[in-house]
Amino acid sequence: MMRLFRAALVQMQVGKDRTQNLVNAAKLIAEAKCDGAKLVALPECFNSPYGTKFFNEYAESIPNGPTCEMLSKAAKENSIYLVGGTLPERENNKLYNTCTVWSPKGELLAKYRKMHLFDIDIPGGITFKESDVLQAGNELVMFEMEGIKVGLGICYDMRFEELAKLYRLQGCEILIYPGAFNMTTGPIHWELLQRGRALDNQVFVFAISPARNEQGYIAWGHSQITNPWGKVTTQAGHSQEIIYGDIDLSECDKIRQQIPIFTQRRTDIYDTVKNK
């Protein structure tokens, strides 16, 4: 069972030209592989600008569109596990914000649809309503990487601690969130939420943002790796870059032994209160 590996989070620049986005992603994936990555992860909406007015135009079916073709080929050519950020997905005339995961043989390992849609309204800050055009997913999705269980979420999902806890209860040691926080929420919430999810659940958390752009939805950047102690071990700036983490899963074992919160949960009490 693999316990040590190198992860690469690709904080890439995303623009309006889909082909250019795919070419850029493929180039950066190959670079991450050359630098020793076994798992490479891309950001939310890496093939299209992030915005409700773009989702319909850029949507593709999975696994048949050009974006999945590129992802499958890149995973196979580089023999890596590839978390393909997210793309707007179309199925039966409905749209979803969907993350795909590819095996080193280029096979589709998992597909997760954003479960909590990003609907917020902060006067003077940001108003965004994914539910105007997207449907929410209804399933937790995990994949296994040579014995390591990894749970998937997308961006706003990281605000929901119940989702992270359910993944931990199902044996996950890593949670991966492709995400695109913004200039209003990013500065205070991005890092803190990930540290919270990591510490609460004693898991590694990887979050991958697009690089900051000049117009439209301005992404916060700061892709991040947080360890099960709740410590940020690597964080990007806001430009295009790849960050790396040498992940040692024995850190999960150690912290879970030293602070055994998952054997001390008082579900007898919680359940009584919940059912009142």
For ligand LQR7VSFR, give the closer residue by CB, 52 or 234. Answer: 52
Select from 6, 149, 159, 165 the one that contacts ligand LQR7VSFR (CB under 6 A): 159
Using CB under 6 A, pick the residue from 185, 209, 224, 226 that binds ligand LQR7VSFR: 185
Nearer to ligand LQR7VSFR, 20 or 127 (CB): 127
* Binding pattern for the stretch 112-141 against ligand LQR7VSFR, x by CB under 6 A and - elsewhere: ------x-----------------------
Query: Total number of residues binding ligand LQR7VSFR (CB under 6 A)?
Result: 9
Q: Does 182 bind ligand LQR7VSFR (CB under 6 A)?
A: yes
The alpha carbon torsion through 246, 224, 116, 13 (nearest 10 deg) reads -110
User: The dihedral of CA 191, 192, 193, 197: what is its sign?
Assistant: positive
Coil, helix or strand for 268? helix
Task: Please say if 173 is a catalytic residue.
Answer: no
Out of 45, 114, 173, 251, pick the active-site residue.
Answer: 114
Distance CA 198, CA 102 (A): 24
Using the structure block, give the residue that is written with the tokens 């950066």: 28
162 tagged catalytic: no
Say if CB 37 and CB 71 are below 8 A apart.
Answer: no
What stretches of the chain show up as alpha helix (H) in DSSP? 18-34, 52-58, 66-78, 161-169, 191-201, 250-258, 267-275
Q: Does 223 bind ligand LQR7VSFR (CB under 6 A)?
A: no
Is the bond preceding residue 63 a cis peptide, omega within 30 degrees? yes
Residue 180 touching ligand LQR7VSFR (CB under 6 A): yes
68 is catalytic: no
Dist. CA 31–CA 13, nearest whole Å: 15
Q: Which residues are catalytic?
A: 44, 114, 155
- Provide the binding-site residues for ligand LQR7VSFR, judged by CB under 6 A: 118, 155-156, 159, 180-182, 185, 189
